[in-house]
Structure 1
Amino acid sequence: MEIRQVQSFVHVARLGSFSRAAETMGYSQSAITVQIRLLEEELGTKLFDRMGKKVSLTPQGKRFLEHANRILYEMNRTIMTMNEDRELENPLHIGTIESLCTAKFPRILSQFHTLYPKVNIQITLDSPEKLIRMMEHNELDLIYILDTPRWNKEWIKVMEAAEPIVFVASVNSEFALRKEMVLQDILGEPFFLTEKNANYRQALDQHLALGNRTLDPVLEISDTEFIIKMVERNDGLSFLPYFAVEKYIRSGRIAMLDVTDIDISMYRQIFYHKNKYKTREMSEFIRLITESENA
């Protein structure tokens, strides 16, 4: 039994496809097929049911997957143990959303690069759902998302932090002078909002729908920095995660509104797949993020 056969088996099992496993590993599909056939012959059992283009594990395949994951984990742990004193240099691929990347990543990436200049970091920006799918297909090392609390037995969650979503306005707005207000007071104002597929925007729309109300923004855009600049110009209001607007509020450039009849929070969460060996590069990136949260 060869390690590459075990690796190919795990990729096919995880992706449910010989062709996708081949693409991910940089092999031809025929090479993957041969490796799996040789593995099945050596084990004396069928590992996959092949129904047209659909590939699924047999009962024996499910049993072997548990052993295969342990084999690869121990192999990777051995390699990492032998290289603990070596400088970090393996690439790191992180998935996150635009607003988190803009607000949280510049300082973390600067620290990481100072400590580990040889590590190449790739960042993919997308929606939480798409990032989760990429993580499950081994296309990302870890993901940092903003969402309702997520859990899956196949994932390892290393951080979860509540994040309030708040209404903001220019410091020159009449609403910035009020101590309290209700949602109805501001619904007639021009709003700049993220697009409807943003989960906190969806939460706002759902809250309004419960009261048979809607909000029609004058602008929808995924770029939170652009929205903040528009708000700062006193052109309207917005509804954004606190982490995205915190520095602007603290510097007195925009104001957070006290809207008393709505309370929406999301959760910043970091995951990686349980079958993904946590490299030193992953561990160090996670450490820097969690330390910045506790600072």
Structure 2
Amino acid sequence: MELRQLATFIRVAQFKSFSRAAESLGYSQSAVTVQIRQLEEELDTRLFDRMGKRIALTDTGERFLSHACDVMNQVNQARMSVTSTAELHGSLHIGTIESLACLKLPTVLHLYRKFNPKVSIRITVGEPEDLIEHMERGELDMIYVLDEPLYSNNWNKLMEQREEIVFVASASLREELGGKELTIEELLTQPFFLTEQDNYRRVLNRRLAARRTILTPSLECGDTSLLIRMLEIDRGVSFLPWYAVENSVKEGRLIRLSVEDCYISLYRQIFSHKEKWRTREMDEFVRVAKLADEEE
């Protein structure tokens, strides 16, 4: 049994396709087919069911996949133990959401590039569901999202950091709304500037639905920075991560509101797929992300 056969088996299981696995590995499809056949012959078992052009892991293949991933991760750790002092020069493809990309990621990337100037970094911005799908298909090394705690037997959770989601308002509403605890019903009399269907927007919608209330925003936008700017120059209310509005509140451009029975937190989380080879570049990103939090 060879390591390259295990790596090929993991990639075929990940893509559920011999041709896509071959393309991602830079092999011919026939080479992938031969490697899988040799592995099955050595193990004296069938790892995949072939159904026309579709394939699926057998029960035996499912069990073997878990062990194969463990072996490859151990090999990677062994390699890293003797190369940990070498300068990083590989690549890193990270998927993230818009608010993190604009407001958290720049500091992390600055530190990362300071320590590892030769690493090639690619950032893809999208909705969490899409990012998870790309990670599942092996198209992203890692994802960095803000959500309720997520779990999957297929993922490694590499970081989790709590973030408050808060109501804020334009400074011009200070006398009307500031310095007192408000009800949701009182707040809904104001124009709302909200993101499109981000996870924190969905959490808010669920809270409102439980009260049999529907919110129709005056302004919807996928750009968090634009929403904050509109709040600073107009009169309105929004519901955003604290990290997005903290500076504006501290500098008096926005006010933070206290709303009864509506204290909500989500979590910044970094994941990789368990079938993904954990590189030093990936581990370094997690280290630097945690360091950036400590420095704030």
TM-score by length of 1: 0.91
SS of residue matched to 2:38: helix
**2:93–2:142 contact (8 Å) kept in structure 1:** yes
Name the aligned partner's letter for residue 135 of structure 2: M
**2:172–2:235 contact (8 Å) kept in structure 1:** no
SS of residue matched to 1:172: helix
Distance 1:2 1:125 in 2: 37
Structure 1 segment 40-119 matched on structure 2, within 5 A: 40-119=40-119
SS of residue matched to 2:162: strand
Q: Which residue of 1 aligns with 2:35?
A: 35
Higher mean alpha-carbon deviation, 33-42 vs 200-209, is at 33-42
Cα distance change, pair 207–46 in 1 and its aligned pair in 2 (3 A) = same
Matched, 1:266 2:261: no
**2:107–2:292 contact (8 Å) kept in structure 1:** no
Cα distance change, pair 211–67 in 1 and its aligned pair in 2 (3 A) = closer
Distance 1:12 1:275 in 2: 11
SS of residue matched to 1:193: strand
Q: Which residue of 1 aligns with 2:223?
A: 223
Higher mean alpha-carbon deviation, 117-126 vs 128-137, is at 128-137
1:140 is displaced (CA, Å) by 1.8
SS of residue matched to 2:245: helix
**2:195–2:220 contact (8 Å) kept in structure 1:** yes
Distance 2:212 2:48 in 1: 51
**1:170–1:176 contact (8 Å) kept in structure 2:** no
Q: Which residue of 2 aligns with 1:210?
A: 210
Distance 2:155 2:177 in 1: 42
Cα distance change, pair 178–78 in 1 and its aligned pair in 2 (3 A) = closer
Q: Which residue of 2 aligns with 1:25?
A: 25
Distance 1:126 1:175 in 2: 37
1:244 is displaced (CA, Å) by 1.0
Q: Which residue of 1 aligns with 2:182?
A: 181
1:54 is displaced (CA, Å) by 3.0
Q: Which residue of 2 aligns with 1:294?
A: 294
Distance 2:66 2:181 in 1: 56
1:287 is displaced (CA, Å) by 1.3
User: 5+ residue gaps in structure 1?
Assistant: none
Higher mean alpha-carbon deviation, 32-41 vs 258-267, is at 32-41
1:172 is displaced (CA, Å) by 1.4
SS of residue matched to 2:290: helix
Distance 1:182 1:63 in 2: 52
Distance 2:7 2:34 in 1: 13
Name the aligned partner's letter for residue 185 of structure 2: Q
Distance 1:131 1:80 in 2: 27
Spell out, residue by residue over 1:182-222, the C-alpha distance to the aligned partner (whole angstroms, 9 max, x if none): 111121222111113x1111111111112221111122111
**2:161–2:267 contact (8 Å) kept in structure 1:** yes
Name the aligned partner's letter for residue 290 of structure 1: K
Matched, 1:194 2:195: yes
**2:194–2:238 contact (8 Å) kept in structure 1:** yes
Q: Which residue of 2 aligns with 1:247?
A: 247
Q: Which residue of 2 aligns with 1:149?
A: 149
Name the aligned partner's letter for residue 263 of structure 2: D
**2:159–2:270 contact (8 Å) kept in structure 1:** yes
| Residue correspondences, number | 294
Higher mean alpha-carbon deviation, 33-42 vs 212-221, is at 33-42
Name the aligned partner's letter for residue 143 of structure 1: I
Spell out, residue by residue over 1:59-104, the C-alpha distance to the aligned partner (whole angstroms, 9 max, x if none): 3323432442244223323332332221111111111111011111
Structure 1 segment 122-133 matched on structure 2, within 5 A: 122-133=122-133
SS of residue matched to 2:138: coil
Distance 1:242 1:119 in 2: 31
Q: Which residue of 1 aligns with 2:172?
A: 172
TM-score by length of 2: 0.91
Alignment RMSD, CA only? 2.0
Distance 1:141 1:291 in 2: 20
1:110 is displaced (CA, Å) by 0.8
1:176 is displaced (CA, Å) by 4.6
